Amino acid sequence: MSVEVIDLETPKIKTLKGIYKNSFILIFILCFIVSVLSEGSFVGIFFLCFILLGIPILGVTAFYILFCIRFGIGFIKKNQKKCEEALTKLGFNIKYSGIGICIDTDQRKMAFIGSTNSKTVICDFSDVRSWHKDAFVETTQYRNHENAYAGSKSKTHFIHIVVRLADPEYPEVRFIAYSDRDASMWIARIDALING
């Protein structure tokens, strides 16, 4: 087994925790300014502003994060690029890459990059045991006016490829696919590289 976990030395990787922390700091500063400028009770106005400003700002932040993850843009794409540059400095020759994966066909290695941190799992092609498509699907059931079942609707939020490795510490890694077609292409590509 040659699965290894490395911490890429990349400058300023944005994490989900960091984005939420910045949102809370922004909310706190705005609430403090509004409560100082108003003439009422400092504590009461601060908490009222926190509720009125905090909920919309946190909602927008959550939407931004989901949008970035779903379409592989924004901070996800910037993090990916920084991680690819760090892998290249370590001698990794990237032939194929996607959000969360880089493949070096010369050394027959795969690197699975965490999109929210700098931890990277690197393995040989021989360490890969299986791979398949998975998705986070939300199903909504509808009821009619008599509260009887009237059908359901499913919506796929995230599609990702699950790769199982021959390593007890890291038996499974995942990376994001943009769509069903992208997932099928990655499955075919991994199949061709490993079994070809």
Tens digits of pLDDT across the chain (196 residues): 578 887 776 656 666 677 778 888 888 888 788 777 877 777 777 777 778 878 888 888 888 777 776 666 677 777 778 888 888 888 889 999 888 899 999 999 999 887 445 578 889 999 999 999 887 777 788 788 788 877 888 776 678 889 999 888 888 888 888 888 888 999 999 999 988 7
Confidence (pTM): 0.66
Show the CA angle centred on residue 148, arms to residues 143 and 153, nearest 5°.
Answer: 35
Helix axis angle, 75-89 to 42-71, nearest 10°: 60
Coil, helix or strand for 155? strand
Domain ranges of the chain: 4-10+92-195
How many angstroms separate the CA atoms of 90 and 99, rounded? 19
Helix axis angle, 42-71 to 16-37, nearest 10°: 150
Q: Which fold has domain 4-10+92-195?
A: PH-domain like (2.30.29)
pLDDT of res. 116? 47
